[in-house]
Amino acid sequence: MTLLNEKSATELLALYGSGECSPVDVVQACLKQIERVESQIGAVTELCAHQAQNAAQESAKRWRNNEQRPLEGVPFGVKDLIETAGIRTTGGSNLFKNYIPKDSATVVKRIQQAGGILLAKLATPEFGFGDAHEGFDPTNPWANTQWAGGSSSGPAAALASRELPLAVGTDTGGSIRVPASYCGVTGLKPSFGRVPREGVMPVSWTLDHVGPMARTVDDIALLLTVMAGYSTTDPAVSNRPVDNYAGEYADGDGIHGLRIGIAQGWFVDGCSEGVLKAFAEAIRVLEGLGAELIEVELPHAALAGTIAWVITVAEFASLHEEHFDRLDEFTPSAAERLAAGATVSALDYLRAMRARSLIQQDLEKAFRFVDVVVSPATPTTAPRIVPPTDSFFEDGDRLWLEKIARNFLIHNVAGTAALVVPTAFDNGLPTSIQIAAPPFSELICIRVGAALQGVTDYHLDLPPMCLA
């Protein structure tokens, strides 16, 4: 029997509507699961149990009175870079260890106004760009010897371990998609400007994205519909109309006739045999659903890492200029990256900004002939953790750029939409496919991802710890 904490948000809303359970039951089930597994996972930094129980009572009343909202009574968690009124928000840093915001980020307010119940703040390495402090570095629910990914590691681990059904992460260079891939959950980096970032601690103002994380594409669609849209508080957010992502992709035609571009070169060259096998299987499934497969080349993809790195460290240093006299309080990686950013010349920064057009032009050309571009997500399964926990970065930041996030960075640089969906397992660990579409075409990503999850069940598999 499937426990309530294992249900998706879509399933929970249906159960609430039929009266088979209430938000009070679900919050209690999630709290019980957190109590049971959190000592093994380490995903939660702040548990909002009392507030969540009160909100669940209110949601149950709304359901009884037929006054329910789109996410009424569904628990969610947010990465600890995202501000929450009256609840500590540290950014994973000692610099903000006692920071309690007076107001919540726009995305949090939108989810709560839609009836979502904030259950927990979730772990992140320092500012999403440094090291994780001891006790705030989640392990992978599929194997506690393996890394959960970064930097939205807390959301991914909490989702995979069935602590909650919905989460919000951030992505500057793969930080939603890396942990989603490693932990076997679903994550979307929306288009740049699709979701407001007000109230979210920044890393890079030209590369940061805020996005939904869940276990199913259906839930991603639900959450994105609530999160997306114009806000006067974020100058980079778009005023383009928001699709009804939760209702518009199930048009009856599936993906028949959709043109799917299969990324070649850089995107497959660095992948393990197991990841390539899982990717090939997913492609066969999509073809079997009637999609047309077209190979595409993105010749400047290998430049994306360098472009992103120069921009990120420079902007990160600019954002923390006031903290330069406190470098000793940062974790080692964050301090090193701040120092590196301070040495980036204006000329190099502008060169990197100009070089973004090469990436954008490659993708624009590809999207003339295909509707989406797919690739393997992370090129390997989750690496093994060897104390200290970041020691698998044996060649430093270059490992992130060339081995871990190599297939993700291009979409941060270009601002395109990119969805990660679980595929087959490799030696008991998850693999994933990345589905990317032109800016503000999240609906196409969702359509393809939903079609894949409609005929596969990798996203439904439970980690061994949930079966014990």
Catalytic machinery residues: 79, 151, 175
Q: What is the 3-state secondary structure (H, E, C) of the chain?
A: CCCHHHCCHHHHHHHHHHCCCCHHHHHHHHHHHHHHHHHHHCCEEEECHHHHHHHHHHHHHHHHCCCCCCCCCCEEEEECCECECCECCCCCCHHHCCCCCCCCCHHHHHHHHCCCEEEEEECCCHHHCCCCCCCCCCEECCEEEEECCCCCHHHHHHHHCCCCCEEEEEECCCCCHHHHHHHCCEEEECCCCCCCCCCECCCCCCCCEEEEEECCHHHHHHHHHHHCCCCCCCCCCCCCCCCCHHHHCCCCCCCCCCEEEEECCHHHHCCCHHHHHHHHHHHHHHHHCCCEEEEECCCCHHHHHHHHHHHHHHHHHHHCHHHHHHHHHCCHHHHHHHHHHHCCCHHHHHHHHHHHHHHHHHHHHHCCCCCEEEEECCCCCCCECCCCCCCCCCCCHHHHHHHHCCCCHHHHHHCCEEEEEEEEEECCEEEEEEEEECCCCHHHHHHHHHHHHHHCCHHHCCCHHHHC
